[in-house]
Amino acid sequence: MKRAMFTRLLIFGLLCQAIISFLPGTSSGLTIEEAVALALTNNPALQKQQMSRTLSERDLSGKKSENFGKIDLLASYGYYNLPRTLVPLTPASIATDPTGVPTTVDLFTTGIRYEVPLFTGFAQQRSVEIAALEKELAGAALKLSREQLIYNVKTLYVNILSLQAQEEAQREFHKALRRLYEDISFEVKLGKKARVEQLKAAADLENARVKSQQIGGNSRILKAALAALLNLDTIIRLEKFSVEMSIPGEIESAKEVQGLQRYRSAALDVEKKIRQVEKSTAAYYPQVSFNGFYGQNYGPNDSSNLNEGDWNNQEVWQAVVSLKWTVFDFGGRKTARNMAVIREQQSRREQLTTELELKRALSEASIKIEMAVDAFHSAETELALTRETEMIEQIRFANGAADVNDLLYAKARNQLALSRSIAARYAYREACFYRDYLLENGESQ
């Protein structure tokens, strides 16, 4: 009778330990909200993605500035075998004073030049539009990177909690088997039990010990992965939180796929490819540009000049409008445009693929939640049944009506059901996190 009472108290303690593992802890460990905040602040991959967005903004600014042309400072020196005039001469200037015209073989030039495209076949306008689309794409990629990081952190977090709860339950199971082994060993000495029952209990005890170590090792591996995402050296303790199970009918409906950043990114890429097709047609239009120059030509008079050695300078300026129109290039423009059209068609196919994949993934997420809820209820039912079975087998074993195999099998079934219950509870949270990731609600949760 005392042994039966002891067995009931032991099982009650195990159940209390398992239940406590689901309740919010009183320790000051790292909460899941703090883990997400640390990841969003410290993660180097996310910081790199933020830099990519900054680069796209700078690129857009650079494309816009090209519409205003560029200003260059120029300087040159040239030595010639024959004397040169500082500026081109007209017949009138030669007739007035031909001997007074400065000439030199050492010609220096300094000045400033301004160049600006006047018409590029709309290529420059399309370049600005493409850069603006790339900026939007970079913003969408940053949003998706944040969502991916949040999902990874939350998934690792709940998997660690799940393994820790399973490890704790496994340790208690190992303690219970050790007590059983000690009881059997004592009864073997008294001649009440056979040696083979002691060996069977010892084998199950060793198996439980190894299982506990394996679960602990997996937990430490996931902790290292989480620490890497948070850019921390190590993680000491995670704060436990309660998991509320919702029935499948209460799961909120999904957003329209077209409103998600993944679909929007695919649509923006299509727009970008369309602009690139339009840009490729610019090669069929004339290219018009303006060029303005102001400067000075100077140098010493050469030996053929009456004023040999005297330095002279002449002001030089010009304003030129240039036109270039390619009429035939042996198919180069046509090839470039055809390639741009093919890339646009590929992008449209990718957009459709993205839409279909999102619909599939959202359906999968809802099914996973339903499966997790069903698995939890199944595990809870099995846990209650195996708990009662274990208690019965414990009493039968104590009364000599059952052998150790029946008792060990009942304990193992109960431990398996407990592990299933723990895993299913956290699998439900992981499935919810996956749905939030697909719906891009990670930051708002």
Q: Which residue has the tokens 């030669």?
A: 94
- Cβ atoms of 414 and 129 within 8 Å: the answer is no
Give the amino acid at 234.
T
Mean pLDDT, residues 179-193 taken together: 81
Lowest mean pLDDT among 62-76, 225-239, 251-265, 347-361: 251-265
Q: Which residues contact 115 (CB under 8 A, 6 or more apart)?
A: 69, 70, 72, 289, 290, 291, 292
Task: Give the model's pLDDT for residue 424.
Answer: 85
Assigned token pair, 20 = 């406590």
Chain segment 350-379, per-residue pLDDT in tens? 999 999 999 999 889 888 888 888 888 888
Mean pLDDT, residues 67-83 taken together: 93
**φ, ψ for residue 125, nearest 5 deg:** -65, -40
DSSP state of 52: H
Task: Give the model's pLDDT for residue 303.
Answer: 79
pLDDT for residue 279 is more than 70: yes
The gap from C-alpha 390 to its chain's centroid, in whole angstroms, comes to 48
Mean pLDDT, residues 31-42 taken together: 92
* More confident of the two residues 370 and 71: 71
Task: Give the model's pLDDT for residue 94.
Answer: 66
Give 316's pLDDT tier (boundaries 50, 70, 90). Answer: very high
pLDDT for residue 422 is more than 90: no
Task: Give the model's pLDDT for residue 40.
Answer: 94
Average pLDDT, the chain: 84
* More confident of the two residues 90 and 317: 317
pLDDT for residue 239 is more than 80: yes
pTM of the model: 0.79
Highest mean pLDDT among 45-49, 184-188, 373-377: 45-49
Q: Could you give all domains of the chain from N- to C-terminal order, each with its CATH number?
A: 2-68+123-286+335-438 (1.20.1600.10), 70-119+288-324 (no CATH)
Lowest mean pLDDT among 68-72, 83-87, 153-157, 318-322: 83-87
Task: Give the model's pLDDT for residue 185.
Answer: 87
On the 0-12 / 13-18 / 19+ scale of CB atoms within 10 A, 159 is buried
Tell me the three state secondary structure of residue 286.
coil
Task: Give the model's pLDDT for residue 390.
Answer: 78
pLDDT above 90 coverage of the chain, percent: 47
Give 246's pLDDT tier (boundaries 50, 70, 90). Answer: low
- Cβ atoms of 20 and 172 within 8 Å: the answer is no
Assigned token pair, 181 = 């082994």
Tell me the three state secondary structure of residue 313.
strand
Paired residues of 296 in beta bridges: 110, 315
Give the amino acid at 66.
E
pLDDT above 70 coverage of the chain, percent: 88
Whole-angstrom Cα distance, residue 138 to residue 112? 38
Highest mean pLDDT among 15-29, 77-91, 166-180, 216-230: 216-230
Q: Which residue has the tokens 């709860």?
A: 165
Mean pLDDT, residues 238-262 taken together: 68
The gap from C-alpha 227 to its chain's centroid, in whole angstroms, comes to 16
